[in-house]
Amino acid sequence: MLIGKLAEASGVSPRSLRYYEEQGLIRSDRTFGGWRDFDPSTVERVVMIQHLFAAGLSSLTIGELLPCLEASPEERTGVMERLLAEEVERLEAKRRDLDREIDTLQALRSDVALPDRTNH
C-alpha cells in the first residue's frame, strides 16, 4: 500500500506518516521506484498511534508502548503498566495545575469590581 492510500485509509496526512516512520512507529518497504510500500495492517497501527497522540503521549512513549500493546498478555513484562501509570500521573499533575489556574482566575474575577458607569 503506497503512502497516499495509507493516508486515505487512516485519515492521517502523508507528512504525518513520514514522521511516524522517521520515529520508528511504522515501517515500510521500498518499491523498485523508491516509493514507500506499507503493509495493509499498518492502517490499524496508524489509527492506534493517533489515539495515543490524542491521549497526550509523546512519540517516544508511543514507541515504547506499541510493542506491549501488540504482545499477548503472557508476553508482557510490565512495561506497559509502568508507562501508563507514568502517563496517568503526568496528566493528573497537569489537571491539578489547570485547576489551580482556574481557581486563581475565578478568584481574581470575583475580586475585581466593575466601574460604575452610570455617572458618565
Q: How does pLDDT run across 54-100, given as a tens digit for each residue?
A: 988 899 989 988 888 888 877 777 877 888 888 889 889 999 999 99
Q: How many CA atoms lie within 13 A of 85 on its CB side?
A: 5
Model confidence at 42: pLDDT above 60 = yes
Q: What mean pLDDT is predicted for residues 93-110?
A: 92
Helix intervals (H) in 1-120:
3-10, 14-22, 42-54, 59-70, 79-111
Q: What pairs with residue 84 in β-bridges?
A: none
Nearest Cα neighbor of 28 from 59, 58, 7, 11 is 7
Q: What mean pLDDT is predicted for residues 21-44?
A: 95
Q: Domains in the chain, start-ordered, CATH in brackets?
A: 3-111 (1.10.1660.10)
